[in-house]
Structure 1
Amino acid sequence: MRRTLAVLVLPCAAGCTVGPTYHIPDNAVATSSSTLQPFLNAQDPSMSNAALPARWWRLYADPRLDDYVREGLGANRDLGAAEENLARAVYAVYEAQSAKVPATTVSGEVGISTPPLPRASGLPLGGVYSLGGAVSYPLDLSGGIRREIEVARADQQAMQAIRDEVRTTVAAAITRNYAAACSANQTLVSAQRVVDIETQTLHATEQLKAGGRATAFDVTRAHAAVETSEAAIPAIVAQRNAAVLSLTALLGRVPSAYPRDVETCSAPPALISVIPVGDGSQLIRRRSDIRAAERRLASATASIGVETAALYPQVSFGGSIGMSGPISSFSKKSQIAVSFGPLVTWTFPNTLTARARIAEAGAAARAAEKSFDSVVIDALRDTETSLDAYVQEIRHNASVRAARNSAAEANDQAWRLFRFGRTDFLSVLDAQENLAAAESALANSNATLIDKQIGVFVALGGGWEQEGLADPADGPARGSQVVTSGRESP
């Protein structure tokens, strides 16, 4: 038995750590050369290979938007909950580290002795006491405690990345709803412009009817065109109000405290430059979901070491002292016991449970590795899809704008021809209907275009960085193979 114990303990006497040492797998998608290249759609003139700034919404140069994002990041309730979850994970690291601190126990007991002998025997009968204290220090020869700390730290960093993802989501949602409200206001202006044009046509038609050059049927059709265009306005107002209320909730406000200055926003914010998208390597370091998946893999790998440590003896070193005796002769007839030395606990040879848990942890680590690859692939797909959607919407917007300009010109031409008697009134109404459709299509395309812009920023994963912290594009932070950020690990 002693020889077996020596064989298992002596190799770890210098403080070894059992289980695999974590590193990103060599065949991980995150380290592939094809992953780290520039994006396929980054060659479009609307984009550049420059690194995405930490606070990308400032590319719109809109002070009101900056204020909203700042307020939202400080007051959003979902983000506040994510901060508290991160704090809980930090304290879990403290708890794991406390296992390396010497443990002390103090005990005391007072009772009444009831010996089985009769009282006539002459033995004392009365109160007795017992006092004791012990201290022990875990040697952690197999490194199980070190692995548990590694698990807790990786879990904390994963929770940190989740918190960062909430920050990204909040910043993007604020920007998106602010832009949606402003786009709706712009659409209202466009819809009202169509109503004004059709109203002018109605008035002119009424004058022509009075002069005998138009019929009552022409006037009725002109009325119908105005009423149809006016009927579209309430839906646009409802869309604007929904965006404002969503923005209000993101700012942590109740509906009655909605930001009233958004009602006067006449146009969505416009980019002051092309979109800096960086490349795949920057995306890997920046996206919060990738960092969270990588940290979960690190935690799962360290868990193998935690379970492996159960195969080895758990050795602690310490001592204890105790004294006991009758209360009537406290410290005079006390029995004092002192012990000092190592304490060994070991479940050998029953290791079936430990080995099953090791196998279970290994399977969990392999699953985490696959999940890590899957998250990276999804992030790359999401980014390329968002970039392509934005490029295609730029082209669509240009075509719609050209169609609107042609429709406006055709409307002017139809009205002039009608006034000189060279076409009928139906042609005028058709031209106005085409103009109304073209104006609506352009307004929708303008709103979609900025929504696609924000979708690109969301896919790129920026916006979680806090003031005074390093940008992950500068390189991996301490404690992570990919990158971690935010609160410093204890």
Structure 2
Amino acid sequence: MKPVVHVLASVLLSSMLAACMTVGPDYKVPENAVVNNTNANGPFDVDSPAVAIAPVPDDWWRLYDDPRIDDFVKQALVANTDLRVAAANLRRAIALYHEVESENLVQGSVHADVARGLIAAEPLLHEDKVPVFNFGDTGFQVSYLIDFFGKLARADEAALANAQASQAALDQARVGVVAETVRAYVQGCTATHELHVAEYQLALQERGVELAKRLSDAGRGQPVDVLRAQAQADALRAALPKFKDMQEVSAYRLAVMIGKPPTALDASAVACTAIPKLRQPLPIGDGAALLKRRPDVRQAERELAYATARIGVATADLYPSISIGASAGFSGILDHLGQGQTAHWSVGPGVTWNLPTNGVRARIHGAEAGADGSLAKFDGVVLKALRETQTALSSYSRELERNDALRNARDKSEAAAGQNRQLWQAGRSPYLQSLDADRTLANNDANLAASDAQVAMDQINLFLALGGGWQNPPKIEEHKIADKD
């Protein structure tokens, strides 16, 4: 009994010492990482009344006050195939994490074998042939790996970080799915708006063709004027299929985003009468909030934690692997199985130590290089997040300025067209002059419509860069990862 007590005492002592002998670096975000830079956490460089330094809402698409957008986003967050893939990857990472966790538990197995055979006589120092027997072997064995140097602890830490990175990847997929769903719907709206403007331009030009024909027939114009007017009408007519195509493509994209075949929705699903508008200045927050909110930043940080933990796993191979085990059972002739002469048991510790010449140090250096690469990737993701956001802000602000100028030009051309129409109706101005003013108005309407479409796209690009839309989603098949800390 005393040997067993001594063994158990050694196991307990080893377990108590294990916590203070975990090899490898303890993870923390390096002080020199870009994410800790003061400029990265400050306010954005923007001066526009169209944006506000306010927290980005989780469900930013509801700022459009369009129930159809909200409905499409809800469908996409449940049925989108990219999200199903990301959710499956998360479940796989969780399963791997639990598999690694189980290595910290007592491992056991049970076996039972029956065989009929002949044992060679000569190794038993018999000259005569041994009879054929039925043999049996049954028993169990248990073992426990003492994590004296923290290899299992580091492996558990790495698996947890990997699962958390998969969770962040799922969140990042949600960000993209929300943005692309809203984009598909809004592009359909902008295409419908631009189509109406193009049809109005064509209608004006067709009026010009009729006028040119009448003038030519009356001898007050030239046939070349008719051809010129018809050519311009044909050019305007050629633009209509482009906008109809944009309507159809937007419907196809939207259908796929919500997990349906492309033809499940027709163009009427995105043929809204007006481009969705925000009900308030676009909230952007600051750099610190951005870096906490963007899932790709969190994913890169968790990948750095994983790579750092792998250094400890590799370093632990420089030290002995200590385990304790026990086994018991019966082995012998099947008829005698269970009798005292067939019983066997054993208990005791075991030590395995690989020599450093087995490539251990090379694996450590490889793990360290992997951590350096992960840090560089983390810095790159942070810089990319800041660049994308600042670029989207600049594009949005400058397009708004251009949109204001185009709107002023359209308003002035509208006033000029109205005055020319009154002059023509009063007989004080030729009809061609009034028609030219209407054409100018139509062209300015088209330019403004294109700018309105670009403003809408810039808004979505900015929301995408800000990284919102993954919080509090509808239920899909997934498991949340809780940080053990």
Per the TM superposition, whether the score is higher than 0.5 is yes
Distance 1:149 1:199 in 2: 74
Deviations 1:153-175 (A, max 9, x none): 11111111111111111100010
1:445–1:119 distance in 2 versus 1, CA, 3 Å:
same
Aligned amino acid, residue 290 of structure 1: V
Distance 2:95 2:87 in 1: 13
Deviations 1:159-214 (A, max 9, x none): 11111111111100010110010011111221222233344555566677788876
**1:59 aligned residue (52, 60, 63):** 63
TM-superposed CA distance for 1:242, in Å, is 1.2
Q: Does 1:153 align with 2:157?
A: no
TM-superposed CA distance for 1:108, in Å, is 3.0
Distance 1:124 1:222 in 2: 112
Q: Is the 8 A contact 1:12 1:142 kept in 2?
A: no
Name whichever of 324-333 and 400-409 sits farther off.
324-333
**Match of residue 85 from structure 1:** 89
Distance 1:161 1:407 in 2: 51
Q: Is the 8 A contact 1:18 1:144 kept in 2?
A: yes
**Match of residue 482 from structure 1:** none
Distance 2:306 2:381 in 1: 16
**Match of residue 364 from structure 1:** 370
Q: Does 1:373 align with 2:379?
A: yes
Q: Does 1:114 align with 2:128?
A: no
Question: How many residues align structurally?
Answer: 466
Q: Is the 8 A contact 1:38 1:279 kept in 2?
A: yes
Distance 1:13 1:157 in 2: 29
Aligned amino acid, residue 453 of structure 1: Q
Q: Does 1:252 align with 2:259?
A: yes
Name whichever of 369-378 and 220-229 sits farther off.
220-229
Normalised by the size of structure 1, how large is the TM-score?
0.86
Q: Is the 8 A contact 1:318 1:340 kept in 2?
A: yes
Distance 2:465 2:60 in 1: 12
TM-superposed CA distance for 1:230, in Å, is 2.8
TM-superposed CA distance for 1:33, in Å, is 1.6
TM-superposed CA distance for 1:238, in Å, is 1.0
**Match of residue 22 from structure 1:** 27
Q: Is the 8 A contact 2:77 2:473 kept in 1?
A: no
**Match of residue 313 from structure 2:** 306
TM-superposed CA distance for 1:236, in Å, is 1.1
Q: How does 1:369-448 map to 2 (within 5 A)?
A: 369-414=375-420, 427-428=433-434, 430-448=436-454
Find the residue that maps to 1:35 and give its secondary structure: helix
Q: How does 1:103-142 map to 2 (within 5 A)?
A: 103-109=107-113, 110-116=115-121, 125-142=132-149
Find the residue that maps to 2:40 and give its secondary structure: coil
Find the residue that maps to 1:95 and give its secondary structure: helix
Q: Is the 8 A contact 2:248 2:267 kept in 1?
A: no
TM-superposed CA distance for 1:285, in Å, is 0.7
Q: How does 1:299-378 map to 2 (within 5 A)?
A: 299-332=306-339, 334-348=341-355, 350-351=356-357, 353-378=359-384
Find the residue that maps to 2:41 and give its secondary structure: coil
Distance 2:399 2:129 in 1: 104
Name whichever of 429-438 and 262-271 sits farther off.
429-438
TM-superposed CA distance for 1:402, in Å, is 1.6
Deviations 1:132-173 (A, max 9, x none): 321011111111011111111111111111111111111000
Find the residue that maps to 1:40 and give its secondary structure: coil
1:226–1:105 distance in 2 versus 1, CA, 3 Å:
same
Find the residue that maps to 1:323 and give its secondary structure: strand
Q: How does 1:202-351 map to 2 (within 5 A)?
A: 222-258=229-265, 261-332=268-339, 334-348=341-355, 350-351=356-357
Aligned amino acid, residue 73 of structure 1: L
**Match of residue 44 from structure 2:** 39
Aligned amino acid, residue 299 of structure 1: Y
Find the residue that maps to 1:66 and give its secondary structure: helix
Deviations 1:277-335 (A, max 9, x none): 00111111111111111001000000001011111111112211132222233334623
TM-superposed CA distance for 1:468, in Å, is 8.8
Distance 2:134 2:225 in 1: 115
**Match of residue 183 from structure 1:** 190
1:206–1:318 distance in 2 versus 1, CA, 3 Å:
same
Q: Is the 8 A contact 1:182 1:262 kept in 2?
A: no
Distance 1:411 1:122 in 2: 119
Distance 2:243 2:131 in 1: 96
Q: Is the 8 A contact 1:168 1:461 kept in 2?
A: yes
Distance 2:235 2:18 in 1: 85
TM-superposed CA distance for 1:433, in Å, is 4.0
Distance 2:290 2:25 in 1: 28
Distance 2:126 2:73 in 1: 84
Name whichever of 207-216 and 454-463 sits farther off.
207-216
Deviations 1:31-65 (A, max 9, x none): 12211111111x32111111100111011010000
- Which segments of 5 or more consecutive residues in structure 1 lack a partner in the other structure? 1-5, 470-484
Please report the RMSD computed on the Cα atoms of aligned residues, expressed in angstroms.
Answer: 3.0
Q: Is the 8 A contact 1:408 1:435 kept in 2?
A: yes
Find the residue that maps to 2:274 and give its secondary structure: coil
Normalised by the size of structure 2, how large is the TM-score?
0.87
Distance 1:360 1:123 in 2: 57
Distance 1:53 1:323 in 2: 68
Distance 1:142 1:442 in 2: 68
Aligned amino acid, residue 381 of structure 1: R
1:306–1:418 distance in 2 versus 1, CA, 3 Å:
same
